[in-house]
Amino acid sequence: MVALATKGQSVGLPSGFKRLTASMTWAKGTDFDLAAWFVTKNGRTGLAYYGNREQPDAQGFVQWLTAAPFMKLSADAGQGDKQDSVAGNKEELVIASLESYAKVYLIVWDYTCVQGKSADKDGPAVAKGSPARFQGSNLSMRLTDDRGMDHVVQFELAKGMVAPKANVGLVAILDNTGTETRLTNSSHIELWHGLSDTEQFSEFVKHAEEQLTAW
């Protein structure tokens, strides 16, 4: 197992793998969601998130393992803040093939805090742009290839008890533009008041990469 414990750490993945599973875990009763923003080698961009896991979104995008985009998320975990325990929560993203991708950005967000919600039977209203509860969540991401090789990325900002004012985080980047696929711990966070369109996600990952360059 290879550990990337700090922001900016990067490692080349062993060649020859065909399939990756990204498993995000956290030990706090918070409805975090795993998502992937991707850029293909021909410049196409897209987002794999719980909203297009089983049915097409407004752009007609839906997740498949046997056809493009060759990635799919597991079921949504942590709904309703029911898993505040040591066992924690887990969401997975399976990437059946990286061949067509230039980069894949592995994102965690608290969708309710980003978008806001009205009061309902599950709880009080949440204002759009509210900070998420990253602190103390011990959120991390384990990437396992089809040969059993593990790389663990620790989301640095989830280890401390000081609450960061953020609701979206970029945990890691898979960079497939060179001679090898590189995995980088980005541990980047921002506070967004709504996040849904292509330009916004492009801006978010651009900020993260600029910060890594200056790190």
pLDDT of res. 4: 95
Neighbours of 139 (CB within 10 A): 25
For position 88, what pLDDT does the model report? 67
- Whose CA is closest to 48, among 58, 35, 66, 65? 35
The widest CA-to-CA distance across the chain, in whole angstroms, is 52
Q: What is the pLDDT of residues 170-201, one digit of tens each?
A: 999 999 999 999 999 999 999 999 887 778 88
Q: What's the confidence (pLDDT) of residue 159?
A: 59
Q: Residue 82's pLDDT is what?
A: 46
**pTM exceeding the 0.95 threshold for the entire prediction:** no
User: What is the number of structural domains in the chain?
Assistant: 1
| Strand order through the sheet with 2-4 | 2-4, 150-154, 140-145, 20-26, 89-95, 71-73
Sheet holding 33-40, edge to edge: 10-12, 182-190, 168-175, 101-109, 33-40, 45-48
Residues in the chain with pLDDT values less than 50: 79-83, 86, 161
Helix/strand/coil for 43 = coil
CATH number at residue 60: 2.60.60.30
Domain that holds residue 142: 2-214
